[in-house]
Each structure stands twice: as structure tokens, then as C-alpha cells.
A = this chain, B = another copy of it.
């Protein structure tokens, strides 16, 4: 079976919507995600607030699920060896929360297929779905850039804009066993 490494933040979890919600709750200001197009993730909110929210207990545990991700990942699990690979080590609080979040929303994914890491250079797979250039850049397999506001101007990779497009890319022609 071919192996897919799937990122969590901004791919399975809608982190952008989530920090905009946190920002509005904290400051009463509703930002339009359109204003974030092309802005590096760390600069999306004033004064390092993205990073501050990422370090807030409960932030990852309550993140909304990216539409379509549950159904498509479940289908991918039938045809591929699916690993969830998250650069969680930068935010130590997130480790437990991310594991609980995965168990709640994707109960069909075994603990054996979850990887929390720092650098993703150590990951060996046939496909990687990720929203970050730094994760895709050194990956040797096929690379799918999942659209997020911060990566909108990146042209180095095949782009998927949503989970429907992931399904079109990976489910239409994928054989049961490679």
C-alpha cells in the first residue's frame, strides 16, 4: 500500500478560523479571513497573537474539523496506509490535546498511525498533504499543498484547495494495492 502523511493544522483542523474566533472573543474585532491572504501565519494577528493562541490550553482541543476531511480520510484509509503527521513538538501543551482531538473526530485512525514531531524531514511516505513549504520542501514523494491563507502565493507544488480536491487527486485512480 502506498503511504500518505497528512498534516493536522490547517489541513484536518481549521486553525485559521479558530484563531480568528479566539481573536474576536478576546478583542471584539471580527477579522475577515480574506485579509489574511498571502500574510505569513505568524503575522496574521497583531503582536504575536497567533502564537499566543496556539499556546493557550484548550485551543487545539476545540479546533473545528476541516469540512470533508473525516469522510475523505476514512476513504483514503481503505486504499492507502494513512499516517497523521503533526509538528506538535513546538507546542508541548498541544500533544495531549491533539491526540484527544484525533480520537474524538477520527476514531478510525489507530494510535499506531499518529506521529507528533518537530522537523518532518524524518518522515518517509509516498504522498504528503501539508500547508507549509518548510514541510513539503524536503519531502521526496508526491507533494500536495493544502491551501491556507498564508500559502496562497506559493507556486512550487500541486495545490489542493479543499478535501474534495484531495479525493479527486487520490481516490479516483488509486488502486487498492500498489
Chain A residues in the interface with B (C-beta under 8 A): 3, 5, 83, 85, 89-90, 92, 95-96, 99-100, 110-119, 122-125
Give the contacting residue for A122; candidates B116, B118, B124; CB below 8 A.
B124
Are A117 and B118 in contact, CB atoms less than 8 angstroms apart? no
Q: With A95-B96, A125-B122 known to touch, is A90 a contact of B111 (CB < 8 Å)? A: yes
Task: Please give, as numbers and ranges, the residues of chain B lying within 8 Å of A92 by CB-CB distance.
Answer: 96, 99-100, 111
Q: With A116-B115, A122-B125 known to touch, is A99 a contact of B89 (CB < 8 Å)? A: yes
A-B CB contact pairs (8 Å), 10 listed: A83-B122, A85-B122, A89-B112, A110-B118, A111-B118, A113-B118, A114-B117, A117-B117, A122-B124, A122-B125
Determine how close the nearest CB of chain B comes to the CB of A97; give it in whole angstroms.
Answer: 10
Residue among A3, A111, A122 with the highest chain B CB neighbour number at 10 A = A122
Determine how close the nearest CB of chain B comes to the CB of A50; give it in whole angstroms.
Answer: 18
Per the bound structure, the CA–CA distance linking A73 and B85 in Å amounts to 25
Per the bound structure, the CA–CA distance linking A8 and B134 in Å amounts to 27
Task: Please give, as numbers and ranges, the residues of chain B lying within 8 Å of A113 by CB-CB distance.
Answer: 118-119
Q: Which residue of B is nearest A118, CB measured?
A: B112
Per the bound structure, the CA–CA distance linking A124 and B140 in Å amounts to 11
Determine how close the nearest CB of chain B comes to the CB of A110; give it in whole angstroms.
Answer: 7
The 10 closest A-B pairs by CB, nearest first: A112-B118, A124-B124, A95-B95, A89-B111, A115-B117, A112-B119, A116-B116, A111-B118, A89-B114, A83-B122
Per the bound structure, the CA–CA distance linking A100 and B96 in Å amounts to 13
Determine how close the nearest CB of chain B comes to the CB of A120; give it in whole angstroms.
Answer: 9
Q: Which residue of B is nearest A89, CB measured?
A: B111
Are B3 and A122 in contact, CB atoms less than 8 angstroms apart? yes
